[in-house]
Structure 1
């Protein structure tokens, strides 16, 4: 079957939109990896033999083996490994186009690719690190190959269909149910040719037989477990359809009804094709009635229903007038970018993904991480995975705050008071980030706990450069944020000012900042209390046109009324204290 250039351009545009709608959601800030996703990647952190040996008892090894090869190719960062799911989705969208085209022509193929890719639950599954993502590519491929095989039988087509079905079986045991759905479609659509299933079914069973025998014991334990499954209310049936659709459920309902009307007006409902597709779309009802026996009345286990829903909508829309059909197609294209309801789809993430991503952006050399052992986020597999992703050179964990200057404290919203007291001793809470179940707090001690005591009672405890973890090197004209640490060793009588100067022997003072401390409390030093630290944050603005040079950053304390600088150990003849060498680079 040849595709003309217009169709090729249309399909390429669809695939680009599908790819964009997924890639925009790959990072952890858009969708945090759930515990099962982290486990999937963590399972591959070994040899190929290890991966096969570590495969969970209720999963075949196909997905984990595939992910192992992919992980060795691209690494373990969530964005990189999730691209495997995106590529599988693109294969599924392309195959859905071909299947829709074989089902009812070019327009149906176009709408099938869009509808399949835009369903809310498919959007979620196609960026999740689970085996279901591969099935989203394999199921449409098997559907297309089945339609080709029964239209024009041949042993090559039959064998290829069998191989794809075997791949579905090796990815997930739900692939067996999906293959059974394809058999029912063929039974209704081509009842006299159903015997032709012997070839693809034989190939599929033969290839999967070793794993099938390995999983027979699982079926016994599953049947025993299902005896305790409670009956779901009838309202669970429409709720399952709504879960397939996502937040655009009302729009999808309108499109489905529109497709029904179009099929009825064209007298397609009671044809064999109509009955076959109606059976596919109604399968959640059958799953509901057999839930105590099969246990598949669940969105993850019934993922294979969604291709049927997409094909039904596409078939009906293709029969509408061009303007109406085009409008519907554009609406579905817009649904590609509708956010999926993650709270309904995802097992609650721990929050560690965001914490470690934030920590990687803000941690400095020498920082340590202290984890509250009572925190629900204390999940060893996730801690190990995110440490590998964001700190491949290592991250130092500690069990107590000790004498470390910067301590990142990871805890539940209800703190361990004994541990918190240890962290807070001689430290200041600088930053707080993350959800309550995994809250990350930075506690920081001053650079110089002993400090330099000025005669007026102020004690200077050192300087930090928030934007520099090492030598301070700047461009001419750049801003230099600084953080000055202070305390009061006794009550201060007057309100003092602080001067910060960037000076050189040749050019003199090139930048300065004078004024009362801009602290986390009132700037009036006469109001300062003993026994705590005060932080003075300032920004020095460097002038433009500076030559390449090295300057001294100096500090002074003075009273604003008489401008007399207060003495302290280490000050020079001008009453200033040397803080740091600042390097300015310019052509």
Structure 2
């Protein structure tokens, strides 16, 4: 048996084979029985191997599924991180930079739209020749955030959040010709660049138009590409919607709206066959713009957008090379300041490289026929054409006008960075790149891009940190040859440093005068301080606001041009005048000359001591006391209330004027165009009497017709009644009322309590506010001497 079991093999060989298996329990001792060991071991090995293989396949499948799930969730995680970073940078110390002049103007328009009483408030921006969309978008934030500056800036932050998403989508679409991996990476990189780019951080934290213009620009670009890829009516409507947003934001949007056909054809040349759809999109935008023609002052848009800021065609054709060179230098300075040199160089290099050869290892080509050159062409046109338009046509240019162009330069940077990241895959093992030289080159390339990325982050951080914590120390554009941002936002009379202290003082005074409130007067010209004060204090309880032309004394203006401010001042409300100017500047000198008795309360210098805020208290005595009706307030034509009057000249000579100021309000809008009469009559009877003098006119000497009155309006209406020469000396009754000039029908007069007033029957003088038998309201007596 032993010989047969050997089978030609020696025990040592079998023992050696067994030992070679490496089993710690196997023995090489030949005396050990081996029958069961030989017959069972292969079966055990086969069973274990099969189970291991199945387990490995299951684990591999699970691992692949987990990886796919993680990869699928990665964009969501990145989006959340971007959103959190964006909000952290934008919201941190949002009020650290005080309100600047234009912010006050735009927020005031938003406040008027929020409390709109008619269409003129909704279109208040047309008064300065601007589109109203920004003011409309402020309304939700103004309604929930008490601080109006923060509310206005939240509008820009919301638009900026939309811009992050739009940058992601636009960069992904324009990066498609370089492969899916590049496309997937370009989007989040573009979003990240927007989050940290100084140009975006600055304007997202300010209540200005420019973040919204950027939103419109990116939306037009994205919807145009979307439509061009597969023209259809729903996609055309999206393009029209984007164009509508653009033209309701700023007319400089025409610089990129005009590029829509070029972008569509470049992305998909066959889309030109559907040109009529694109024309329809233009009609949608034009229809939205036509809403502005409901306002009678729509013509202001031409001056507000072009007249003050742009050259005419004739001026352009005169080839003003000096101006063009200055504009080009200004744009270059804006780029280096708010994009930063590292990011600017990356943008230029990336844009140039987009016209080059295909990348290695770019991933599977997407199902599109778009060439890299066309994508690069679209980006180049979207950046260079608006820049050229500004350089060649701008008469006056600010850095914020080119914000949407600067943001567009981040898109090629994102695509270039994505392409570089995809090429770095060759650094990983098993990528089929055994060449050490090439691997070393990739290492160097990765190092260069990493250092460049770090320099971009550092460059952006050196602007963002002081902007948030100490705006006066931020590296603003500061070229004194132009009206640049440091001068405009920090140092000049446009800046709001000192405004908070002034408002705190006014709030304290208001609380100390609960009965009368306070009156705050500023100059008539728009900007600082007028619009900033109105933005904060319009419709604020206990505060009455008013204007005065810089060439007039405040007291003279209150006496001769009465309004709600003079009415409240006549009742004892303290009067304050706010001024911002350079030390010893023209405004300060003129104000001191016209108002020598004004008392200086606050004098707050701004950074750099180029300007300062001043607050004065004005001493004013009205020409006569106001007479205010209470329960017997006369009511004309059921809705017009005569709240009171001021009789400035109770005694006159024949040939001079008797002056009376009427204070009107209304409970509702009026359809009738009524005329006011103010008569001096003789006699004591409730009817009749001899009319010795009169003044009939539409309210406000024709400038404030009743058809324009709105609920809440306060109309101070002055009448100078000329007493004819030869009028006998004596005492005459002053009566007023209203009639329809078209029909000569006199409007019914009654009193607020419905009594109609009482007229004495014993021949004595009635009380002021009594109504006679001819719908005339008796005010008082005027003595002719």
* Shorter-chain TM-score range: 0.5 to 0.7
Partner of 1:450: none
Once the 2 structures are TM-superposed, how far is the Cα of residue 84 of structure 1 from its aligned partner?
Answer: 0.7
Is residue 2:76 matched to residue 1:8?
yes
Query: Please, which runs of 5 or more residues in structure 1 have no aligned partner?
Result: 444-587
Residue 343 of structure 2 aligns to a residue whose secondary structure is helix
Matched, 1:313 2:413: yes
2:240 counterpart of 1:138: no
Q: Quick one: distance in 2 between partners of 1:70 and 1:143?
A: 28
For 2:143 and 2:543, locate their aligned partners in 1 and report how far apart those are by CA, in whole Å.
Answer: 20
Report whether the alignment pairs 1:90 with 2:233.
no
Contact 1:115 1:310 in 2 (8 A): yes
Matches within 5 A, 1:165-564: 165-209=243-287, 211-212=289-290, 214=293, 222=307, 225=312, 227-228=314-315, 230-231=320-321, 232-234=323-325, 236-260=327-351, 262-263=353-354, 266-267=357-358, 271-283=373-385, 286-287=388-389, 290-291=392-393, 299-321=399-421, 323=446, 328-329=452-453, 331-333=455-457, 335=460, 337=464, 339=467, 341=476, 344-345=484-485, 347=488, 350=493, 353-360=496-503, 363=508, 366=512, 379-388=529-538, 393-394=542-543, 413-414=583-584, 416=592, 423=599, 433-435=604-606, 436=609, 437-440=611-614
Equivalent pair of 2:152/2:207 in contact (CA under 8 Å)? yes
Query: 2: distance between equivalents of 1:224 and 1:130?
Result: 23
Q: Give the corresponding residue for 1:47.
A: 117
Distance 2:374 2:207 in 1: 37
Alpha-carbon shift at residue 317 of structure 1 (Å): 1.6
1:569 paired residue number: none
Equivalent in 91, 99, 112 of residue 190 of structure 2? 112
Structure 2 CA distance for partners of 1:260 and 1:8, relative to 1, 3 Å: same
Partner of 1:574: none
Q: How far apart, in 2, do the equivalents of 1:37 and 1:16 lie?
A: 26
SS state of the match for residue 74, structure 2?
helix
For residue 433 of structure 1, give the secondary structure of its aligned residue in structure 2.
strand
Could you give the per-residue CA deviations for residues 8-62 of structure 1, whole angstroms, max 9, x where no partner exists?
A: 22122222222222223631x324322x221112223233623334332633333
Structure 2: unaligned runs, 5 residues or longer: 1-68, 176-182, 360-370, 425-445, 468-474, 479-483, 547-552, 556-571, 618-785
Instruction: Name which of structure 1's ranges 343-352 and 251-260 shifts more when overlaid on structure 2.
Output: 343-352
TM-score norm. by structure 2 comes to: 0.46
State the TM-score, normalizing by the size of structure 1.
0.60
Residue matched to 1:510: none
Question: Could you tell me how far apart the structure 2 residues matched to 1:376 and 1:56 are?
Answer: 13
**1:319 counterpart SS class:** helix
1:285–1:130 distance in 2 versus 1, CA, 3 Å = closer
The whole-number CA distance in structure 1 between the counterparts of 2:131 and 2:527 is 29
Change beyond 3 A, Cα 1:195–1:296: farther
CA-CA distance at 1:371 after TM superposition: 8.0
Task: Note the C-alpha offset of 1:85.
Answer: 0.7
Aligned length: 428
Once the two structures are TM-superposed, the CA of residue 261 in structure 1 deviates from its matched residue by 6.5
- Cα contact 2:199–2:339 (8 A) shared by 1: no
Match of 2:104? 38
The whole-number CA distance in structure 2 between the counterparts of 1:217 and 1:384 is: 22
Which whole-Å CA distance do the structure 2 matches of 1:360 and 1:128 have between them?
20
Range that drifts further, 264-273 or 201-210: 264-273
**More off after superposition, 276-285 vs 226-235:** 226-235
**1:250: how far off?**
1.6
Cα 1:420/1:7, change in 2 over 3 Å: farther
Match of 2:151 in 1: 80
* Cα distance in 2 for residues equivalent to 1:378 and 1:319: 48
- Partner of 1:186, secondary structure, is helix
Task: Say whether the 8 Å CA contact 2:538–2:545 is kept in structure 1.
Answer: no
Secondary structure at 2:208 match in 1: coil
1:356–1:386 Cα contact (<8 Å) kept: no
> Is residue 38–residue 382 contact of structure 1 (8 Å, CA) maintained in 2?
yes
Contact 1:162 1:199 in 2 (8 A): no
In structure 1, distance between residues paired with 2:191 and 2:117 = 37
Per the TM alignment, residue 285 of structure 1 is displaced from its structure 2 partner at its CA by 5.6
Q: CA RMSD in A?
A: 4.5
* Distance in 2 between residues matched to 1:217 and 1:381, nearest whole Å: 19
Question: Does the C-alpha gap of structure 1 residues 50 and 266 become closer, same or farther in structure 2, counting only changes over 3 Å?
Answer: same
* Deviation of the 1:267 alpha carbon: 4.6
